[in-house]
Amino acid sequence: MALDGWHQKYLEILKEFNYNRSREIRSAKILNSFLKSGFRLDSIKKKIKNKIVFVIGAGPSLDYSLLHLKKFKGFTKIVADGATQALLENNITPDIIVTDLDGNMEYLKRSSELKSIMVVHAHGDNISRLPFAISFRHCIGTTEDKPFGKIKNFGGFTDGDRCVFLANYFKASKIILIGMDFGTNIGKYSKGKVHNKSIKIKKLRKGKSLLEWLASKSDVDLYTTSHPISGFKNIKLTDLQRLVR
């Protein structure tokens, strides 16, 4: 189950974004029916527990940050949806991808073939995209609502903040954010085409506030390489080597 207090946060999200709860639940049930049984959470836990984990978002700073990220082979990388393309183009394979399947599927499929673990999120507006999950090798399903069957709830809203909730849930030793700029400039790897920029910006603002809430409750050492997030320490990309030693 997600962090204590998550359900209240979820009810606020439904209200703020005018989402229909029964559609959220229907989506999760459909995803549950597509997933193979037998996926072991142990394989995710092994990559996160007591490890230094990078969470990679699709903000504008991602391109520049990749030059630095390349030096951290062997460290666990949890990647938000659209950022997958940037990593694969730089020959970095995500360990875990967190996605609501609303972006370019080509890179997700390719990464899945390279054995990335796919954490697919079901929500009320991606029901028609859920069948893509069938083709993934290692796949787990999530919801913001109550977990059941093969569907988990680690907490979080947008793909990027859900990566952080996941790393926190499985008790990383440190979580380091890359390309998680938030703000009002949408990164070029984000979702291909943004249909409604003001909603996207509103979602980012919500994602950031959820991370600040998480930080207020978490024991994990939290860092960001981009704009300040309350509860996260700022670290320069050039100081990362020192941090992970």
Ligand X SMILES: Nc1nc2c(c(=O)[nH]1)N=C(CO)CN2
**Interface segment toward Mg ion; rule CB under 5 A; list 43-51, 99-107, 164-172, 234-242:** 99-107
**Interface segment toward ligand ATP; rule CB under 6 A; list 47-55, 70-78, 133-141, 155-163:** 155-163
182's contact among ligand X, ligand ATP, Mg ion, none, with CB below 5 to 8 A by partner kind, is ligand ATP
How many other CB atoms are there within 10 angstroms of residue 89's CB atom? 11
What letter represents residue 46's amino acid?
K
Q: Does 187 bind ligand ATP (CB under 6 A)?
A: yes
Site for ligand X in 27-46 (CB under 6 A): none
Q: Does 200 bind ligand ATP (CB under 6 A)?
A: yes
DSSP 154: -
Q: If we measure between CA atoms, which residue out of 108, 106, 226 comes closest to residue 96?
A: 108
Q: Which is nearer to ligand ATP, 205 or 217 (CB)?
A: 205
CA distances from 77 to 4, 44, 167, 171 (A): 25, 11, 10, 14
Q: If we measure between CA atoms, which residue out of 135, 131, 151 comes closest to residue 143?
A: 151
Q: Which of 95, 100, 145, 181 binds ligand X (CB under 6 A)?
A: 100
- H or E element that contains 77: strand 76-80
Q: Which is nearer to Mg ion, 129 or 233 (CB)?
A: 129
Sheet holding 96-99, edge to edge: 151-152, 138-142, 117-121, 96-99, 76-80, 52-56, 174-178, 221-224, 233-234
CA distances from 39 to 44, 205, 234 (A): 10, 33, 36
Binding mask 55-84 for ligand ATP (x = CB under 6 A): --xxxx-------------------xxxx-
135's contact among ligand X, Mg ion, ligand ATP, none, with CB below 5 to 8 A by partner kind, is none
Virtual torsion, Cα 179, 122, 154, 8, nearest 10 deg: 100
Instruction: State the residues that interact with ligand X by CB under 6 A.
Output: 19, 24, 100, 123-125, 157-158, 203
Instruction: State the residues that interact with Mg ion by CB under 5 A.
Output: 81, 100, 102, 159
Instruction: State the residues that interact with ligand ATP by CB under 6 A.
Output: 57-60, 80-83, 100, 102-103, 158-161, 180-183, 185-187, 190-191, 200, 203-204, 207
